[in-house]
């Protein structure tokens, strides 16, 4: 490779803009770290006339992907546009053309990572994707490098910053005596303005973004291919201010967690859902637009990563890390990527865990009917409370099987005018 590393950047939005900024600000540092100068030759966008937070010299801008991909002088293509297509095809074309690729695209890596990683190896180029999971946190690099000599037992993460930010803003609203529902909407708008949210924020709030990241994280932590559809997903849209209030009363935090663990029978279970965590959990202090990953492994015991999980500069930091890795070692490893091996996965229904259950019924009689099956399970009840409309009661169950429990809960939800909110508790390892 020459002393100049030439780049095509696909996308000049939040992440692309952040990368262009850091490439300029840290040019001398990057040269010192790699012995190479980085030169941007093309920046692909949809609309070259759009005003941009970060100025791009007009001669670099193009709307023609072939210009960015087919330039024989370009060594590395940075895919920072997002979405499945045309991003996936452009990554494939770039690899076929013998370019290294760096991407922040968790959707593409969760859906087609296996195919693309194999293609990169065949073509003798590198495909790196640190920014696709938890923004600035070097978690994928750590799992493949410094921690690779450990058997990972569990990986638990707050991997979506938008939802973590929304939950924090809802808590703040409760403290200020404001409605949690308006706090939710305002926080989502703020996350969009700050560039944390996806182009379609449904992906954040319904847990899809965290599901993509979990498929990638679990694959690298447990060294087996994790099909996206095997990762259970639940978002935060059904949570209310009462759930946050109860979390606080119980001395717990309420987070959208990504949890992957190896079960005693050898199967891997990966899932995303709102979870109540105790104060002692390292992820309890991960608040606002931050992400965190807490790993447990048979050598290092436990380790946590905590930092900005989204935003222009934080994400660009991970992209630059990958760029430096390519500049230093442009050859892919010769051995087969162990994270692409097939392996068995287990559905969430095979787990046993504890649950928080919040029942709301129009009157005490209706509440008693809802309580009945939880009593039989040996749940602990908090005293019932009168709300403006109806009566509320919270119970915590002992560990019970998810499949059987959800069947019972579905029956309770058939009762007219009943609210049956269920939130899982994080179990000890
Ligand atoms: P963004 O702000 O919406 O920017 C997307 C950029 O790609 C824009 O410049 C857009 O062009 C360009 N683009 C999109 N589709 C295109 C197409 N078909 N042809 C040409 N150009 C196209 O998105 P972002 O937030 O930077 O996210 C980019 C990627 O990084 C996504 O995969 C996202 O999941 C990932 N990511 C984002 C963050 C974050 O904090 N935002 C963090 C980690 C990972 P125009 O400017 O002309 O519209
Ligand atoms: N929308 C994502 C988040 C961006 O909020 O975490 C970072 O991947």
Q: Note the pLDDT tens digit of each residue in 60-88.
A: 999 999 999 999 999 999 999 999 999 99
Does the C-beta of 236 come closer than 6 Å to ligand 2? no
Choices 3.40.50.1220, 3.30.70.20, 1.10.10.10, 3.30.70.1150: CATH for 351-425: 3.30.70.1150
C-alpha to C-alpha distance for 358 and 414, rounded to whole angstroms: 15
Q: Each residue of 193-238: pLDDT tens digit?
A: 999 999 899 999 999 999 999 999 999 999 999 999 999 999 999 9
pLDDT of residue 181: 83
pLDDT, position 337: 93
Q: Give the position of tokens 């994280």.
A: 217
Q: Is 18 a pocket residue for ligand 1 (Cβ < 6 Å)?
A: no
pLDDT of residue 180: 80
- For the chain, counts of helices (H) and of strands (E): 14, 19
Calculate how far, in angstroms, residue 152's C-alpha sits from the geometric centre of ligand 1. Answer: 32
Sorted by where each begins, the domain ranges of the chain are 4-128, 140-308+342-348, 351-425
- Which class in CATH covers the domain with range 4-128? alpha beta
- Distance of CA 326 from the midpoint of ligand 1 (Å): 22
Residues serving a catalytic function are: 213
Nearest partner of 241 among 177, 180, 185, judged by Cα = 180
pLDDT, residue 334, reads 86
**pTM of whole model > 0.85?**
yes
Phi/psi region, residue 104 (left: phi>0; alpha: psi -120 to 50; beta: rest), is: alpha
Say how far apart CA 389 and CA 273 lie, in whole Å.
28
Between the CA of 178 and the centroid of ligand 2 the distance, in Å, is 26
**Chain centroid to CA 405:** 27
**Ligand 2 atom 7 nearest Cα:** 310
> Would you say the CB of residue 160 lies under 6 angstroms from ligand 2?
yes
CA of 221 to the centre of ligand 2 (A): 20
* Rounded Cα distance, 279 and 252, in Å: 6
CB-CB contact of 277 with 253 (8 Å): yes
Phi, psi for residue 304 in degrees, rounded to 5: -130, 150
| 140-308+342-348: CATH number | 3.30.360.10
Ligand index nearest the alpha carbon of residue 188: 2
Give the Cα-Cα-Cα angle 99, 104, 108 (nearest 5 degrees). 80
Which residue has a Cα nearest atom 6 of ligand 2? 160
Can you list the residues of the chain whose pLDDT is less than 70?
1-2, 429
The ligand placed nearest to the CA atom of residue 158 is 2
Instruction: Decide: 84 in ligand 1 pocket, CB within 6 A.
Output: no
């Amino acid at each position: 490779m020459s002393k100049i590393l030439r780049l095509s950047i696909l996308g000049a939005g939040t992440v692309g803009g952040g990368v262009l900024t850091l490439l300029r600000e840290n040019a001398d540092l990057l040269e010192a770290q790699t012995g190479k100068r980085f030169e941007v030759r093309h920046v692909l966008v949809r609309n070259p006339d759009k005003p941009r937070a970060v100025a791009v010299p007009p001669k670099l801008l193009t709307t023609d992907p072939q210009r960015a991909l087919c330039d024989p002088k370009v060594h590395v293509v940075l895919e920072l546009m997002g979405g499945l297509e045309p991003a996936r095809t452009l990554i494939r074309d770039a690899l076929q053309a013998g370019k290294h690729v760096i991407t922040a695209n968790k959707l593409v890596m969760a859906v087609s990572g296996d195919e693309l990683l194999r293609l990169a190896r065949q073509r003798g180029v590198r495909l790196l994707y640190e920014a696709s999971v938890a923004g600035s946190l070097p978690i994928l690099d750590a799992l493949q490098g410094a921690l690779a000599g450990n058997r990972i037992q569990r990986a638990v993460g707050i991997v979506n910053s938008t939802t973590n930010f929304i939950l924090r803003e809802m808590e703040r609203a409760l403290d200020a005596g404001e409605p949690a529902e308006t706090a939710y909407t305002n926080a989502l708008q703020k996350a969009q303005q700050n560039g944390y949210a996806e182009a379609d924020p449904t992906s954040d709030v319904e847990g899809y973004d965290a599901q993509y990241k979990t498929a990638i994280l679990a694959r690298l932590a447990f060294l087996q291919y994790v099909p996206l559809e095997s990762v259970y997903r639940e978002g935060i849209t059904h949570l209310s201010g009462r759930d946050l209030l109860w979390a606080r009363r119980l001395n717990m935090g309420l987070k959208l967690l990504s949890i992957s663990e190896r079960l005693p029978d050898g199967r891997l279970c990966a899932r995303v859902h709102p979870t109540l965590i105790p104060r002692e959990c390292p992820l309890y202090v991960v608040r606002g637009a931050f992400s965190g990953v807490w790993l447990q492994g048979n050598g290092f015991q436990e380790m946590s990563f905590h930092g900005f999980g989204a935003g222009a500069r934080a994400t660009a930091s991970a992209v630059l890390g990958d760029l430096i890795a390519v500049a230093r070692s442009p050859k892919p490893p010769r051995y087969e990527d162990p994270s692409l091996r097939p392996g068995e996965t287990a559905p969430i229904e095979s787990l046993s865990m504890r649950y928080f259950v919040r029942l709301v019924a129009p009157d005490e009689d209706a509440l008693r009917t809802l309580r009945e099956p939880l009593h039989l399970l040996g749940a602990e009840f908090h005293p019932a409370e009168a709300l403006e409309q109806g009566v509320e009661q919270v119970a915590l169950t002992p560990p019970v099987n998810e499949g059987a429990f959800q069947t019972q809960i579905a029956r309770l939800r058939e009762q007219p005018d009943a609210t049956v909110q269920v939130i899982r508790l994080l179990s000890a390892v």
